[in-house]
Amino acid sequence: KKKAKIAAKTANVDVKNATVLGAGIMGGGIAYQSASRGVPAIMKDINPEALEQGMDEAIKLFGKGLKYGKISTEKMAKGIASIKPTLSYDEIKHTDIVVEAVVENPKVKESVLKEVESLMPEDAIICSNTSTISIDRLAKSLQRPEKFCGMHFFNPVHKMPLVEIIRGEKTSDETIASVVAYASKMGKSPVVVNDCPGFFVNRVLFPYFGGFTKLVRDGADFQQVDKVMSKKFGWPMGPAYLLDVVGMDTGRHAAEVMAEGFPDRMSKDEKDAIDVMFENDRYGQKTGSGFYVYG
Ligand code: NAD
């Protein structure tokens, strides 16, 4: 019923210019994806090195497109020129949407959202790429919560089709419709979900990780589990490898958020393999070792 209601409403913002806050793994990827689909993006960070890395990554991705014949030299040059790295909010007055992708810290996000809202056009939309913070909580720092929602991309942004569009209590249908349209323009597959711990994907993923860590506790060989889930069951990778990609720090934090949100279903009675990896600094690919050793 809700879906039909949203579909019946039209988007009230046609996104032609975007601003991404944060030029890290996600912000850089979001700016690239937007620019590669014809929506210029301002990429704002507080750290010049992060901006440099974000641009390098975008140039690399455009270069791959050129190498595999997906884009022309002109399209590559145009795409790169349409990402504007900056340390200031100077050009925010012309933006249709702000996608916040700064560090996963509620206090930092609240202050960034508040500041940007006071500088951007009143009718522009503001989204957060948070993985674990409640959209309703973040909305409390804003004057126009009806123009705010979650826009949760997955890593790596250019490869993962899904984007969760998270509706807060006060988000308007027009905002949701506009963000759905922008995600589609970016070549992504949006799903609209309500605000709750884990949104949609982590509510599926974390019980799966929980099942996996219990199997390991019962004596299963994690490499065998991965082999069966990937080679035989047909998923792109098994749970141990996926946890190495996600990172034990991120995974552990998300597991805590899920346990807090759903204590009856997601609480643990003892440490699991993710905790043990984390305590031994084996965060996964980012530290060179997790379940597997890299490099
Ligand atoms: P990251 O650490 O790679 O990047 C964060 C960037 O934010 C850094 O470059 C930092 O300098 C910048 N920053 C900090 N304060 C800022 C401010 N006030 N203004 C502008 N920039 C600021 O982090 P990430 O992995 O890209 O994660 C960003 C967000 O995306 C988080 O909310 C995270 O939960 C979410 N997310 C991450 C993943 C993932 O797999 N990494 C997946 C989905 C969502």
**Domain extents in the chain:** 2-194, 206-283
Average pLDDT, the chain: 95
Query: Domain 206-283: which CATH class?
Result: mainly alpha
Select from 45, 52, 90, 103 the residue to mutate for testing ligand 1; criterion: most ligand atoms less than 8 Å from CB: 103
* Ligand 1, atom 1: closest residue by C-alpha: 24
- State residue 253's pLDDT score: 95
8 A C-beta contact, residue 86 and residue 50: no
Banded pLDDT at 10 (limits 50, 70, 90): confident
The contacts of residue 111 (CB under 8 Å, 6+ apart) are 141
Fold match, 2-194 / 206-283 = no
| 234, pLDDT greater than 70 | yes
Question: Residue 272: what are its φ and ψ, rounded to 5°?
Answer: -115, -175
| 26, pLDDT greater than 70 | yes
Cis peptide before 145 (omega within 30 of 0): no
> Cα-Cα-Cα-Cα dihedral of 201, 204, 205, 209, to 10°?
160
Report residue 152 as tokens.
């949760």
Per-residue HEC secondary structure of 170-202 comes to CCCHHHHHHHHHHHHHCCCEEEEEECCCCCCHH
8 A C-beta contact, residue 85 and residue 41: no
Tens-digit pLDDT profile for residues 197-226: 999 999 999 999 999 999 999 999 999 999
- State residue 9's pLDDT score: 67
Banded pLDDT at 6 (limits 50, 70, 90): low
- CATH code for the part of the protein at 2-194: 3.40.50.720
- State residue 155's pLDDT score: 92
Which of 4-13, 16-25, 76-85, 259-268 has the lowest average pLDDT? 4-13
Select from 19, 20, 26 the residue to mutate for testing ligand 1; criterion: most ligand atoms less than 8 Å from CB: 26
Question: Residue 88: what are its φ and ψ, rounded to 5°?
Answer: -125, 170
**Amino acid letter, 215:** L
